[in-house]
Structures are given as structure tokens and as C-alpha cells.
A = this chain, B = another copy of it.
Amino acid sequence: MKIGDLAKRTHTRVETIRFYEKEGLLPAPGRSGGNYRIYEQAHLNRLSFIRRSRDLGFTLDQVRKLMKLADDRDAPCAEVNAITAANIAEIDRKLADLGALRAELVRRLECCEGPTIADCRIIEALAPDTREGKQRPE
């Protein structure tokens, strides 16, 4: 299997596959006469694992850990659960942040009294006070 085939089958860009190899996530495959990378099923399995993990929001470092754990079937899965729980917590933080952000943006969008910047509540909310004559514009 050449790199392009592997790319198609895993919905990964060719460059990303080479990047994973350089990063030590995907073992370097054999080469053809023309120096093309030739992949086996095992590579496809590894790469699928990486992509599924990435899709679930794990970092490459976490993926490295998960793969090491996955390779040792006798290892306890407490560590896997810890990594997963950490990601859920991280997602919760992001959800809260984004929710608050969204609310504030919507509020500002609703308050725009336009039609020109002079009356725009969005800009007004962003800008610090410059209308009380306390300072001159530079």
C-alpha cells in the first residue's frame, strides 16, 4: 500500500502521515525500488488508532501513551480512564468558556444601535473610555 492509499483509507493527508512518522507515532515502513513508502495492514491499524484518538480530542502525547498502554494487554486501565477523564474535564472547561463567550457576543450584537460606528455598542463595549476628555488621542 502506498502512502496515498493509506491516506485515503484513513482520511488523513499524506503530509500528516509523514509528519506522524517523523514524530515517532507511526513506525517507518519499508520502501519500494523507487523509494516509495510501502505500508502493511499493521500501519493502517496504528494510523486508524491515532486518527480516532485525535478525533476524540486526545493530544499526540496522550495518543502516544494510549498506544503504549494498548500494546500491553495486562496493564491496568486506570491510566486510560485517567487520560479520558482529564479530557472530559478539559472539554467541560472549554464548553463553559465558549458558552459565556457566546452569550456575551450575542448580547453585544443585539445591542448594536448603528448604523455607524459612532453609535455601535459592540465597538463601544470594546473600547475604553475616551469620551470624557481625560486624555487626548495620540
Chain A residues near B (Cβ < 8 Å)? 27, 40-46, 48-49, 52-53, 56-57, 66, 69-70, 72-78, 80-81, 84-85, 87-88, 91-92, 94-95, 98-99, 101-102, 104-106, 108-109, 112, 114-120, 122-123, 125-128, 130, 134-138
Contacts and interface: CB of A to CB of B under 8 A. Distances in A.
Contact of A95 (B56, B70, B102, B114): B102
17 contacts: A40-B135, A42-B135, A45-B127, A49-B126, A53-B126, A56-B101, A70-B117, A70-B127, A73-B117, A77-B114, A77-B117, A81-B112, A84-B108, A88-B105, A94-B94, A95-B95, A95-B98
When all copies of this chain in the complex are counted, the total is 2
Contacts of A80: 112, 117, 120, 122-123
Given A77-B122, A80-B112, A109-B88, A128 B98 contact: no
